[in-house]
Structure 1
Amino acid sequence: MEETKRLLPLTERIMRIIAAACLVGMAAMTGADVVMRGAFNTPIFGCEEIVSILGVVAVGFALPYAHYQKSHIGVEILVRRLPKRVRDVFGLVTNLATLFLAAIITWRMYDYAGTLSESGEVSMNLELPEYMVVYVLAFGFLVYSVCLLSDIVKYFTGRRG
């Protein structure tokens, strides 16, 4: 049981590092492409695809971190003025609704990735398999869903922060 409690924060931390590395990679690729275009009139072949893929990974892998940092959009002006108990109930309802939506997105993305895999769909220039990117994004949503579920369980067990 103790290992399970540590697995989710460890997974979130690793995903956060990967998301940050993807952002650095996006900036480096874009900068290198601009320099190559300007100095040598030669763009980096497939740069747009690579930057797009890195962007997808960055967004998908940053979801759990954004959740734990409470970086998502909220109506703080209204909610901040409510009593703590009401704010906690709002948080629970929001987490339940978000979990429902994130679980559906995870399922449909996983299903879509399978369809892409069967069809052999590849990216236009580099011919990278597109289903892999969709699987990675589905994984990000899966971990995000588990984070939401963890917060819901904490609410009902009285261990919320």
Structure 2
Amino acid sequence: MAAPTPDEAGPPEAGWRKWFEVPLVLCGAAIIFVLMGLSVTDALLRSFFNAPIFGANDYAQILLSFAVAISFPLCVLSGRLIAIDTLARRLPVPIQKTLDWTTTILGIVMLAYVAWRSFSNALEASEFGETTLLLQLPFAPSYYAVAAGCALSALGLILERLTK
């Protein structure tokens, strides 16, 4: 069997992707496994011993916000952003490239805005002491995580566009 041609093999992986992606995948997997273990343990303890984990929903709420924050940049890296390009692919190549740049810039602007607003909300949550209901866990780290996830996503979009 012949080696694939460069067109068949796809574009070469940029070196920065590995350093960007691996820690996110490992952290995301750890969070999901902790969340899964918490949910299963809570359900079993509730069902068999009528003794649920106190504050399990509070822990789950915080863990889920971190999992979502990690998923933003991973979606960018894997190219799983929603794009409907049925009509765009029928246009001339220069127009396609212009549309690609335009949508990338809009995506960067929107992600940067969400990162900024999340960071602002984190500062306000810290200032006002916003917490979960039962365990009084602070909300600020969740907002910071979402801000970081959106900022990393915007950075990922920039790097993806520049290395194409």
Deviations 1:50-80 (A, max 9, x none): 1121111111112111112111222154445
* Paired letter, 1:107: W
- In structure 2, the partner of 1:38 is 47
RMSD after superposition: 2.0
The answer to whether the aligner puts 1:24 opposite 2:37 as a matched pair is no
Counterpart residue identity of residue 139, structure 1: A
Q: Does 1:48 align with 2:57?
A: yes
TM-superposition CA deviations, 1:16-75 (whole Å, max 9, x none): 221122122222111111111110111111111111211111111121111121112221
Alignment partner of 1:66 is 2:75: yes
Match among 14, 19, 23 for residue 14 of structure 1: 23
Size of the alignment, in residue pairs? 151
CA shift digits 1:70-121 (9 cap, x unpaired) = 1122215444555554443332221111111111111111111111111122
Structure-2 residue corresponding to 1:149: 158
**In structure 2, what is the Cα distance between the partners aligned to 1:78 and 1:45?**
53
- Name whichever of 33-42 and 70-79 sits farther off: 70-79
Deviation at 1:141, TM superposition (A): 0.9
Q: Which of residues 91, 99, 107 is equivalent to 1:90?
A: 99
Show the counterpart of 2:122. 113
TM-score, reference length from structure 2: 0.81
- CA drift of 1:136 comes to 1.4
Runs in 1 of length 4+ with deviation above 6 angstroms?
Answer: none
Q: Which has the larger helix fraction?
A: 1
Amino acid at match of 2:55: G
Which 5+ residue runs of structure 1 have no aligned equivalent? none
Q: Could you say which residue in structure 1 is the equivalent of 2:133?
A: 124
**1:135 match:** 144
Q: Is the 8 A contact 2:21 2:77 kept in 1?
A: no
Identity %: 25
2:82 partner letter: I
